[in-house]
Structure 1
Amino acid sequence: MDLVGAARAGLARVADPAKAEDMRRYMKSALPFRGVAKPERSRLAKALFAEHPLPDKDTWVATVLELWRGAEFREERYLALDLTGAYPRWQNTDLMPLYDELVVTGAWWDFVDEIAARRVGPLLRADHDTLAPLMRVWSRDTDRWRRRTSVICQLGSKAATDTDLLADCVEANVADPDFFLRKGIGWALREFAKTEPGWVRAFVEDHPTLSKLSRREALKHLG
């Protein structure tokens, strides 16, 4: 695939090895880094996607998976995520198996949060009847990253937030001691508090078993 080869060559060209180890250590990543910061990666992605347009949806998905599965450096997976957003006309719920693979195999917040908020969330708003039941299933899954996705997927929904779904996904994870789930619960509630502070305050008051972390994050801007 021309784009995959060009992406790997481009990352090597703009790499800064002096930054790579600090980036890997910060992200606690098993994959090494090239040392390409986000601004440089974004410029590279814009150029690559313009120079190597993809002809159809199947090629696009295959290219994303080739970049993702064959990644030797973490930035290759970041470019794969960038590519998932490059063709909005192909976004629909039949992409959920793709996003599920990226969530489960990515298994860390930098990948999962991007997929949850910027890919799954818009699909949920566009086809609520299909994805709301799936998010309820994910909220009780054994995989913590599916569960985090279910909790935070409505981050950008504002007034369109399905409060029943938000409550169900949070309640399914209230008792879990996992840091990323507790932090995700607090983040989801804090973000929705910008739209419906009264709902969030009442929800927190009605759920005394919320962890201190979730409660503190949820009420952070509510006094």
Structure 2
Amino acid sequence: MDTLHKAVRLALTEVADPGKAPTMQAYMKSDMPFLGVQAAPRRTALRRVFAEQPIENAPEWRRTVLSLWRDAEYREERYAAIELTGFRLYREFQTLQALPMYEEMIVTGAWWDYVDELAVHRVGGLLASFPDTMRPLMLKWARDGDLWKRRTAILCQNRFKSATDTGLLYACIEPNLSDNDFFTRKAIGWALREYAKTDPQATVRYVDHMGISGLSRREALKNLPAG
């Protein structure tokens, strides 16, 4: 365990409530145990640790993130790895060279609490910055055999609002419309619900035109008036 990882574990342990750990683990259906750290104290503790131990360059940052991720013994340590990817000091490190790191975290994390943050806030950021490279990659991921890469492709524009590339959004959704998996259907509905905040009429037309029903439809239209 490297110095930063030791500092992360110590900081998390200091704010942990071990009595909450079993409930947190059960809720997340996690094989990896929890320390019992709620989100707000976790983020506060990690910001302090990350600020006290800055990383000098992008390759070292990527190595540190993956070391923390791979060597984690508690789920909060993997949350820490994700938060380290988004820490303010490392915004300039958000380049295409970070993509293999995110891909590994998505595929090996393979659960919504990890993947959704990475999809919306990290992969989405790369798409916004490097659309010529990321757009065809997201189209490929949308048809990948890995569920969580498909979910990432569907969700990666969730914060784009009026900048949403609807062609890409629909092209990532449509190969997955026949998928009965809960997490796929939920992702389709969530992505459409977010775009509905920008263009509700277009979202309703798309849902009706594509014959989207069930869970995805309910999620997509849940904040829109019935009619």
| TM category, shorter | over 0.9
Cα distance between partner residues in 1 of 2:213 and 2:153? 18
Cα distance between partner residues in 1 of 2:202 and 2:126? 24
Contact kept, 8 Å, 2:69 with 2:81, in 1: the verdict is: yes
After TM superposition, list the pairs within 5 Å mapping 1:101-140 onto structure 2: 101-140=104-143
1:218 paired with 2:220, answer: yes
Deviations 1:111-159 (A, max 9, x none): 0000000001111011111101000000001100000000010000001
Corresponding residue number in structure 2 for 1:66: 67
TM-score of the superposition, structure 2-length normalised? 0.96
1:193 paired with 2:196, answer: yes
- Cα displacement (A) at 1:14: 2.0
Corresponding residue number in structure 2 for 1:39: 40
* Residue in structure 1 matching 2:187, options 169, 184, 189: 184
Could you tell me which runs of 5 or more consecutive residues in structure 2 were left unpaired when the two chains were aligned.
none
Contact kept, 8 Å, 2:11 with 2:46, in 1: the verdict is: no
Corresponding residue number in structure 2 for 1:161: 164
Cα distance between partner residues in 2 of 1:11 and 1:156? 29
Cα distance between partner residues in 1 of 2:219 and 2:46? 34
User: Structure 1 residues 86-95 or 174-183, which shifts more?
Assistant: 86-95
TM-score of the superposition, structure 1-length normalised? 0.98
Contact kept, 8 Å, 2:144 with 2:150, in 1: the verdict is: yes
Q: What is the RMSD of the two structures over their aligned residues, measured on CA atoms?
A: 0.8
Contact kept, 8 Å, 1:174 with 1:211, in 2: the verdict is: no
- Cα displacement (A) at 1:5: 1.3
> How many pairs does the alignment contain?
222
Cα distance between partner residues in 2 of 1:199 and 1:135? 22
Contact kept, 8 Å, 2:139 with 2:168, in 1: the verdict is: yes
Corresponding residue number in structure 2 for 1:204: 207
Q: Letter of the aligned partner of 1:173 in structure 2?
A: N
Corresponding residue number in structure 2 for 1:145: 148
Secondary structure of 1:172's aligned partner: helix
Secondary structure of 1:29's aligned partner: coil
Secondary structure of 2:176's aligned partner: coil
Deviations 1:172-218 (A, max 9, x none): 1000000000000000000000001121111111111x231001111
Corresponding residue number in structure 2 for 1:84: 85
Contact kept, 8 Å, 2:109 with 2:115, in 1: the verdict is: yes
Q: Identity of counterpart residues, as a percentage? A: 52
Q: Letter of the aligned partner of 1:212 in structure 2?
A: G
Corresponding residue number in structure 2 for 1:50: 51
- Cα displacement (A) at 1:8: 1.4
Cα distance between partner residues in 2 of 1:130 and 1:78? 27
Corresponding residue number in structure 2 for 1:8: 9
Could you tell me which runs of 5 or more consecutive residues in structure 1 were left unpaired when the two chains were aligned.
none
Q: Letter of the aligned partner of 2:45 in structure 1?
A: L
Secondary structure of 2:144's aligned partner: coil
Cα distance between partner residues in 2 of 1:40 and 1:46? 10
Cα distance between partner residues in 2 of 1:95 and 1:51? 23
Secondary structure of 1:191's aligned partner: helix
Cα distance between partner residues in 2 of 1:218 and 1:164? 17
Contact kept, 8 Å, 1:182 with 1:211, in 2: the verdict is: no
Cα distance between partner residues in 2 of 1:52 and 1:12? 18
